[in-house]
Amino acid sequence: RIEFALKEIMSSGGAEDDIPQAERKTVTDFCYLLDKSKQLFNGLRDLPQYGQKQWQSYFGRTFDVYTKLWKFQQQHRQVLDNRYGLKRWQIGEIASKIGQLYYHYYLRTSETSYLNEAFSFYSAIRQRSYYSQVNKEDRPELVVKKLRYYARFIVVCLLLNKMDVVKDLVKELSDEIEDYTHRFNTEDQVEWNLVLQEVAAFIEADPVMVLNDDNTIVITSNRLSETGAPLLEQGMIVGQLALADALIIGNCNSEVKFSELTVDMFRMLQALEREPMNLASQMNKPGMQESTEKPARRENPHKYLLYKPTFSQLYTFLAASFKELPANSVLLIYLSATGVFPSGRSDSEGPYDFGGVLTNSNRDIINGDALHKRNQSYKEMHCLHPGDLYPFTRKPLFIIVDSSNSVAYKNFTNLFGQPLVCLLSPTAYPKALQDQSQRGSLFTLFLNNPLMAFLFVSGLSSMRRGLWEKCQDYLRKINRDIAQLLTHSRSIDQSFLQFFGDEFLRLLLTRFIFCSATMRMHKIFRETRNYPESYPQLPRDETVENPHLQKHILELASILDVRNVFLENTLDDY
């Protein structure tokens, strides 16, 4: 490639000797850095996706080379323009790769600040129109690079809740796709139109709009803020465990998704992250190596996002998380998946007799499937049964199951005496409730954005910002009171309290109780299967059916003028 570049220089600029030695060296150095950067970037896909240590030094080297390459093209732009013929889309391609590096660094570390860095590079490409000349070249593969850049930029903006930018990008991407398919009669037209449909559905997933006075939509963030989790009372005895690792698994066939991220996965990952800080003031762009000060440590739990994993993939990631879990730490497993029910009747009631949730099936097990269909006495193979999780209960385990067969996990047994809690979704919702399942589960919405879920079950679809903020303040008070109910309870299982020292788990537990109490008071949630459950069971009278909490929920309903949706004296109805 370097020789080719030098030949190009000779053909465009006359004899090789006419070119100053320094300029020839500039081009040679640039070609070397460009080649090296591509080689390292392509090597990233060969790194194992699981395990937190193996990839760091390789990422560091890749960042280093891209830092040098980016600065080099800035310092020698004139020479590279004249002698190498550097095009603007090539600069855009380097910036896009750096944006991808930051995004993948976020995926590997769960540190939301790296999303800001990815955003700044993707934004620069758009503001400086690096890809604007691509459409003039008769090369469809260059246009595809531009379309992929848009898709990646949209993912980062969704994760940062920059919905205004997302809407602009979707419009631009739509125009670009139309131009692309008009100019090049390609086979991937349907795929790109599907990308547009997916992102449009993703943006519309929230069932309630919060509006400013001028009717513009307020963007609400559901990451953990400084005031998010209820504070612990002084002298409150809770465990010192910290949430260190989370597996977020999505396998619901009909649910809206974008870029291997379902709405439920998207909501849960945000519930396990703090608000991002901007690293720009503390770090030189694009590499992180030259920063003298490290940003303040605000660790998020490390996450694996698994979209439609096979059983073996899920088990591999689970084993890796389990192996690397530090002392005094918790592993969280979130399962949003279609329910798998037992196929035949069983005389026993063991951990493989209640079904579980669906895992993806590979085509290479078709023969095994055929055998399974013939013999109903076998257990479902493509299913995560409660018994499959037993080996991992040797360490503190916090499980959330959002599924039509979540109750399969109610039959858990704590074999090793370690802290263990399962939060289980309702297995069915009332028919009178508008079906929103394609746009994400109501149970997960309660865990991510409890006020929005409360508004939805109350029949509200929009709200003014002032009232929203007033209700959020009241909900914070409810959360504080729920925390006190839990810690003052005399009969609660100790597992709940052992997890209560961690901010993320404390917030999930208080939101779970709020969700359960709300559904039990709601007039149309009247069947047992409409309510969340847990293992171990919570003492109802002290938590989800506590009169003090019920009074708070009716008060919140009064603020919203929807008190008629709830039962006034629920204790008499049981």
Q: Which two tokens stand for residue 526?
A: 């009247």
Please check the confidence at residue 257 and state whether its pLDDT lies above 70.
yes
Q: What is the largest CA-CA distance in the chain?
A: 97
CA–centroid distance for 62 within its chain: 25
Q: What is the pLDDT of residue 117?
A: 93
Query: What is the reported pLDDT for 278?
Result: 56
- pLDDT score of 115: 92
Set out the domains of the chain in order of their start, with CATH numbers: 1-206 (1.25.40), 242-271+299-342+351-361+380-565 (3.40.50)
Q: CA torsion, points 90, 92, 95, 96, in degrees to nearest 10? A: -100
Task: Give yes or no for a contact between 525 and 460, defined as CB atoms under 8 angstroms apart.
Answer: no
DSSP string, 382-401: SEE-GGGGGGGGGS-EEEEE
Residue recorded with tokens 């190596």: 289
SS3 at position 365: helix
Confidence (pLDDT) at 343: 74
Tell me the percentage of the chain whose pLDDT exceeds 70: 87
Residue type, 67: T
Residue type at position 545: E
DSSP secondary structure letters along 415-442: SS-S-EEEEE--S---TTS---GGG--H
For residue 50, what pLDDT band results from cuts at 50, 70 and 90? confident
Residue 49 burial (C-beta neighbours within 10 Å; 0-12, 13-18, 19+): middle
Q: Does residue 233 register a pLDDT over 90?
A: no
Mean pLDDT lowest among 140-149, 187-196, 489-498, 503-512 = 187-196
- Mean pLDDT, the chain, rounded, equals 86
C-alpha dihedral (307, 308, 313, 315), degrees to nearest 10: 90
Tokens of residue 35, six digits: 């080649």
Tokens 């076998």 belong to 378
Residue 307 confidence (pLDDT) above 90: yes
Render pLDDT for 427-447 as a digit per residue (tens, 0 to 9). Answer: 999 988 867 778 899 999 999
CA 312 to chain CA centroid, nearest Å: 21
Averaged over 378-386, what is the pLDDT?
89
- pLDDT, tens digit, 9 for 90 and up, residues 146-179: 999 999 999 999 999 999 999 999 999 999 999 8
Distance of CA 517 to the CA centre of its chain: 27
* pLDDT, tens digit (0-9, with 9 covering 90-100), for 111-128: 888 999 999 999 999 999
Of 208, 225, 205, 226, residue with least CA distance to 217: 208
State yes or no: pLDDT of 88 exceeds 80. yes
Segment (H or E) for 533: strand 533-535
Beta-carbon neighbour count of residue 392 at 10 Å?
Answer: 20
**Class of residue 255 by CB neighbours under 10 A (exposed 0-12, middle 13-18, buried 19+):** buried
Please give the average per-residue pLDDT across 382-407, as a whole number.
Answer: 96
Q: At what angle are helices 88-109 and 113-127 packed, to 10 degrees?
A: 170
**pLDDT tier at 17 (50, 70, 90 boundaries)?**
low
Rg of the chain over Cα atoms, rounded to whole angstroms, equals 27
pTM comes to 0.90
pLDDT in tens, 311-367: 999 999 999 999 999 999 999 999 999 999 887 666 677 888 888 999 988 654 444
Helix (H) or strand (E) holding 42: helix 21-43
Rounded Cα distance, 478 and 566, in Å: 17
The DSSP symbol for 418 reads S
The two tokens of residue 171 are: 């419009």
> Is pLDDT larger for residue 232 or for residue 334?
334
Contact between 503 and 228 (Cβ < 8 Å): yes
What pLDDT does 145 receive?
93
pLDDT tens string 446-486: 999 999 999 999 999 999 999 999 999 999 999 999 999 99
List alpha helices for 76-162, DSSP H.
Answer: 77-79, 88-109, 113-127, 140-159
Rounded average pLDDT over 97-121: 92
Task: Give ∠ CA 140-143-146 in degrees, rounded to 5.
Answer: 160
Question: Sign of the C-alpha dihedral, residues 117, 122, 126, 128?
Answer: positive
Q: Tell me the C-alpha distance between 524 and 567, whole Å.
A: 10
Nearest one of 328, 340, 276, 296 to 116, comparing CA atoms: 276
Per-residue pLDDT for 535 more than 70? yes
Look at the chain and count its residues.
574
Please check whether residue 205 is in contact with residue 452, taking contact to mean a CB–CB distance below 8 angstroms. Answer: no
